[in-house]
Each structure stands twice: as structure tokens, then as C-alpha cells.
Amino acid sequence: MATLVEHQGQQNGSKDVDEEACMYAIHLVGMTVLPMTLRAAIELGVFEHIQAAGPDSYLTAEDLAARLGTSNP
């Protein structure tokens, strides 16, 4: 029969494995955020609007949103 100390050591090891698996899952989800964001920005033409504004201009998010236009299917 395992002693209390051995049993607690096994539980701590199990927690470490669970935490590591959870962190890996979060990492996998996070890896998809940047590509999806860039794709959306490209499809919306955000970079073209920034380029058209010129190098010395300052565009707020509101300015960009006004330039994008919308179409609601």
C-alpha cells in the first residue's frame, strides 16, 4: 500500500501533466488567431486603406471602419 507521501507525489505529477496538456491546448488555439486576423484584414482591404492614407497620416479604428464600407447579405 502506498504511503501518504507517495500518493501525494503521484497526484502532483498528475496535476503537472494536466496543466501541461491544458497549456498545450491553449497554445494550439492561440496559434490560429494571428493567421485568421491577417486573413480578415486582407479580405477587408485594411492594408490598402492604410497605404492610401499615406505614410504621415494617422488613422483611428473609427476612420478605418468608415472607409471599409459594409455589405450585409
Give DSSP secondary structure letters for 37-68: HHHHHHHHTHHHHHHHH-TT----HHHHHHHH
32 DSSP 8-state letter = T
- List the domain boundaries for the chain: 1-31, 34-68
pTM above 0.85, yes or no: no
Tell me which residue of 63, 35, 28 sits closest to 49, measured CA to CA: 63
C-beta separation of 35 from 45 below 8 A: no
C-beta separation of 50 from 69 below 8 A: no
**pLDDT tens track for 3-47:** 544 444 555 567 888 899 999 999 998 898 999 999 999 999 999
Q: What is the mean pLDDT of residues 47-73?
A: 88
